[in-house]
């Protein structure tokens, strides 16, 4: 809309009202006070008078010819408003308002009582098949680690000399107990989702590393056994001998991370 030309004699309110009605028709709603001042280039008192004329209900005209009451405050104006056609003849649109409509919560779906479908609570997955999976794995892993320990210098020791001289134990059992137990525990900590992120990250990588070391130990034992080797090479012996110490360190670090961030 082209603003009216300024003249030496200011126009009265009666002459400015038609221009204000044209502006309202373009916007599709009653313009704000500041919009009237800006477009018609009038002061505050005249803008108030023009706004009063626009919002005054007609006496004899049908309700559909009246403009809807607009906001008396200055809402945020769009930089480039979409072109709007002439004001509709039927029910006029509501006053423009930048406040979004209140969000109402949707009712939860209700099952049709006429159907025969019975909604049952979700059941948790059973965990007992893990026992069946663990039994054969335990036999293979235990025998493989104990066999590899025998090839790398682990064997029968007397842990209580002078106290119980007759008590002996095969130190090779420390390999499956340490490596595989830690791997299962770290895997549980990683997947439980109930520990802080530093502990979960450490459990993830140490669990994957422990499982990888366990797999390599089984491969090494079966290759040495198939080749008829009675004594493992020095580098395999070195790696296997360091496993109990590494497992102890990782277990202590993981326990520290879990307890520190509780």
Q: What is the DSSP annotation of 62-80?
A: -GGGSPPP--SS-PPPPSS
Strand partners, 170: 156
> Distance between alpha carbon 45 and the CA centroid of its chain, in Å?
54
For residue 1, what pLDDT is reported?
47
Strand partners, 157: 169
For residue 25, what pLDDT is reported?
82
For residue 28, what pLDDT is reported?
78
Entry pTM: 0.48
For residue 57, what pLDDT is reported?
72
How far is residue 57's CA from residue 78's CA, in Å, rounded to a whole number?
A: 27
> Distance between alpha carbon 181 and the CA centroid of its chain, in Å?
32
pLDDT tens string for the chain (262 positions)?
Answer: 444 544 445 778 777 788 878 878 887 788 887 888 877 777 878 888 888 877 777 655 555 544 445 554 554 554 455 445 455 555 555 555 555 556 555 555 555 555 554 556 667 777 778 788 878 888 888 999 999 999 999 988 888 888 988 889 889 999 999 999 999 999 999 998 888 899 999 999 999 999 999 999 999 999 999 999 999 999 999 999 999 999 999 999 999 999 885 5
Other beta carbons less than 10 A from residue 161's beta carbon: 9
How far is residue 5's CA from residue 11's CA, in Å, rounded to a whole number?
A: 10
How far is residue 117's CA from residue 14's CA, in Å, rounded to a whole number?
A: 71
For residue 8, what pLDDT is reported?
47
Beta strands (DSSP E) in the chain are 156-157, 169-170
Q: Which residue has the tokens 């020095």?
A: 234
The two tokens of residue 212 are: 């990888």
Any long-range contacts for 64-67 (C-beta under 8 Å, 24+ apart)? 64/89, 64/90, 64/91, 64/92, 66/92, 67/21, 67/24, 67/29, 67/30, 67/92
234 in Cβ contact with 151 (< 8 Å): no
């Amino acid at each position: 809309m082209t603003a009216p030309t300024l003249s030496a004699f200011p126009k009265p309110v009666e002459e400015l009202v038609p221009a204000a009605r044209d502006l309202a028709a373009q916007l599709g709603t009653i313009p704000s006070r500041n919009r009237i001042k800006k477009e018609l280039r009038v002061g505050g008192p005249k803008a108030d008078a023009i706004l009063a004329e626009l919002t005054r209900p007609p006496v004899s005209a049908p309700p559909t010819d009246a403009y809807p009451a607009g906001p008396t405050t200055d809402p945020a104006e769009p930089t480039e408003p979409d072109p709007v056609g002439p004001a509709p003849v039927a029910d006029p649109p509501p006053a423009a308002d930048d406040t979004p409509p209140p969000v109402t919560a949707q009712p939860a779906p209700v099952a049709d009582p006429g159907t025969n479908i019975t909604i049952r609570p979700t059941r948790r997955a059973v965990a007992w098949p893990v026992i069946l999976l663990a039994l054969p794995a335990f036999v293979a892993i235990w025998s493989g680690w104990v066999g590899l320990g025998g090839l790398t210098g682990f064997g029968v020791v007397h842990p209580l000399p002078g106290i119980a001289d007759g008590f002996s134990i095969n130190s090779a059992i420390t390999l499956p107990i340490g490596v595989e137990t830690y791997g299962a525990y770290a895997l549980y900590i990683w997947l439980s989702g109930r520990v802080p992120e530093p502990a979960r990250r450490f459990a993830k990588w140490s669990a994957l590393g422990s499982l990888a070391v366990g797999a390599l130990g089984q491969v090494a034992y079966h290759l040495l056994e198939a080749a008829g080797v009675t004594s493992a090479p020095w580098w395999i012996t070195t790696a296997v001998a360091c496993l109990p110490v590494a497992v102890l360190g990782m277990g202590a670090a993981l326990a520290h991370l879990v307890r520190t961030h509780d």
